[in-house]
Amino acid sequence: MTGQTNNAPVVEAKGLAKHFGNFTALKGATFTIPLGRIVGVIGANGAGKTTMLNAVLGLSSYEGELRVLGRDPSKERPALMQDICFISDVATLPKWMKVVEVLDFVESVHPKFDRAKAMNFLSRTKVPQERKVRALSKGMTVQLHLAVVMSIDAKLLVLDEPTLGLDIIFRKQFYQSLLEEYFDEDRTVIITTHQVEEVEHILSDVMFIKDGEIVLEADMDELTQKFIEVMVAPGKEEEAMALGPITKGATFGKTTCVYKNIDRETLAKLGETRRLGLADIFVATMTGEGQ
Amino acid sequence: MKTFVALVKREVLDGKNGYLRVPMILAGLTVALVVLSSLGFGNMLYFDGMEHEGIQNLADAMNQAKAREPDEFSAAITIGYWAMSVLAWIALPFVIFFSLLGALYEERRDRSILFWKSMPVSDWQEVLAKFFAPLVVAPLAFLGVAVAAQLLIALFLSILMVFQGGPVMDLWPLGLMIASWFSVLSHYLVSMIWALPLLAWVLFVSAYASRMPFLWAILPPFIIMVVEEIFLDSSIIARWVGTHLGGWQDGAFRHISDDFNGPRELLTAIVNGMQWHSVSYSLTNPQFWLGIVIAGGFLWGAVELRKRAV
């Protein structure tokens, strides 16, 4: 049983599509997410990220084939939620509840919730137990929600803009504890965020979405090796242009060129090389120059 | 089952203002009124300067009443307690209506539905819990508060009688009081089952309306009634609604004489006769059963709407 589920992909989508009237939010996306990965879903606002996640979470209907942990999410949401946790991009905790009542509720309906763990997470924050969610600051509300989902022994954790409204110190702490205390090879995490720089070092895979289509699905290590930026040494500009950079700019009076799929040793002769950040790769890909 | 209990508990927590605070405030008011008026009972007479058949305070009045109608006294006391605590019940229909109206609407408005849906709880369990809490828990809470108010009033009057020299023991017709509590409860339950299609409609609207659920709940039935009245010159729907809202009692109790000879007969009729009449009348009435089927349809619709709601 466990051997089977371990090998099966967590999410398997074939031609996943969604229409809202005349508007097509998702145009037949096909992708597979295996177990034990941290996948970053990156795209501009309105690109279809939330639509895709809602389908995966069984929150909306869809066209095409979709299996999540071997189940059909549109029909089996309650059963799936035993093994899936998610935080949406809007504040969803019931505002009229006290913090302790939220924990009571989750404890009584979720068999895989570990209250001691949640209390441990919360003890590192300043969230007061007896206060109502309504009276918490935005950051505290997110901290509470994160403490709840991190204390559920799920196979798939979906975080849609999880750290929106949090200060930078907590954001760092959160991603660190996500990596150290939550993630292991039996879990998969899907993250969407605008703050790409903060997650890129923990991602194992990335998916770029543009206008309802998946334009890139790649292993993080492979992807970052493909794109190399060179600070071109003086006098080598012509040589550099000849290799066909995908973008060109200037910093401190030096020319910088970005290359895709060109051998690092060749580029090293032109000047100082460095890896390109995920945000720059995203921009290069989205503007079409990287393709 | 454990999940359902947790869901109902959550609903009660959410609605505790309506379920507990409202009846408690009303009952508190009632008790205060009773206390003030019985303390002032003798004084009022005194201030008027009249002495009516030797009655100087409440104890005298009770002693005289008991002496005159010994058989009727405990029934009169029981009915009196209900009359005194009835104020606590006034809010119940409003609490039920607005709880149902907000049940599946508020969670969509404040987006907390996304949190509830992140739990391994099915939509039909959620919908049933949101139907169950206002229909069953709210009235039990109201009854509990009314009972507490009656006991408080009885206790207060007993203490007063001790000081004034009245019939203390006769203020505690416990058998009759308990029987009356159960009669009220069972009559309420039968009434609720009659009202099921209307209540389920309100919950359905709560799942459907994207805004202004109150208007959605009230206007469409009203417009249909008016249209029927104008074009067909009939009022079948209005009468159907009326029957389910309580009009069924006309049919159920038509064999019971409404000419009661004293409080004892009235109470006996309420505790024994009417129960039987309402249950047997309802169970043999096709409209009663049709109403349950319609309610099931609305509930099914509410579940389906919630499955699609984000």
Neighbours of B250 (CB within 10 A): 10
A152-191 per-position pLDDT tens digit: 999 999 998 887 777 888 888 888 888 888 888 889 999 9
Neighbours of B281 (CB within 10 A): 18
Task: Identify which of B2, B117, B118 has the shortest CB distance to residue A108.
Answer: B2
Residue B254 vs residues A255, B247, B257, B288: alpha-carbon distances, Å: 99, 11, 7, 17
Structure tokens, A259: 């290359």
Pairwise CA distance, residues B94 & B180, whole Å = 23
The answer to whether A118 and A145 have CB atoms below 8 angstroms apart is no
| pLDDT for the residue B95 | 93
Calculate the dihedral angle through the C-alpha atoms of A274, A278, A283, A289, rounding to the nearest 10 degrees. Answer: 50
Cβ of residue A97 closer than 8 Å to a chain B Cβ = yes
Please work out, in degrees rounded to the nearest 5, the angle formed at the alpha carbon of residue A39 by the alpha carbons of A36 and A42.
175
Residues in B closer than 8 angstroms to A87, CB to CB, are: 118
Q: Would you call A81 an interface residue with chain B, using a CB distance cutoff of 8 Å?
A: yes
B211-233: pLDDT as tens digits: 899 999 999 999 999 999 899 88
pLDDT at B201 over 90: yes
CB atoms under 10 Å from CB of A178, counted, come to: 20
> What is the predicted pLDDT for the residue at B257?
64
Q: What is the pLDDT of residues B109-153, one digit of tens each?
A: 999 999 999 999 999 999 999 999 999 999 999 999 999 998 998
Contact A93 B5 (CB under 8 A): no
Q: Is the Cβ pair A78, B120 closer than 8 Å?
A: yes
Rounded alpha-carbon distances, angstroms, from residue B82 to A201, B17, B87, B177, B188:
71, 23, 9, 9, 15
pLDDT at site A1: 40
* pLDDT tens-place string over residues B240-288: 898 888 888 877 777 666 667 677 777 777 776 677 777 888 888 888 9
| Boundaries of every domain in chain A | 2-211, 223-286
What residue type is assigned to position A78 of the chain? P
Half-sphere exposure of B50 (CA within 13 A, CB side): 6
CA distance B120 to A110: 6
> Exposure of B51 by Cβ count < 10 A (0-12 exposed, 13-18 middle, 19+ buried)?
exposed
The C-alpha atoms of residue A251 and residue A75 are separated, in whole angstroms, by: 54
Q: Of B173, B88, B102, B179, nearest to B139 (Cα)?
A: B88
For residue A123, list its beta bridge partners: none
Copy the structure tokens of residue A103: 């924990």
**Residue from B228, B203, B243 nearest B98 by CA:** B203
**Does the structure show a pLDDT above 70 at A291?**
no
Task: Say whether B308 and A61 touch across the interface (CB within 8 A).
Answer: yes
The SS3 of residue A58 is: coil
The reported pTM is 0.86
- For residue B47, the model assigns a pLDDT of 44
CATH number assigned to the domain covering A2-211: 3.40.50.300
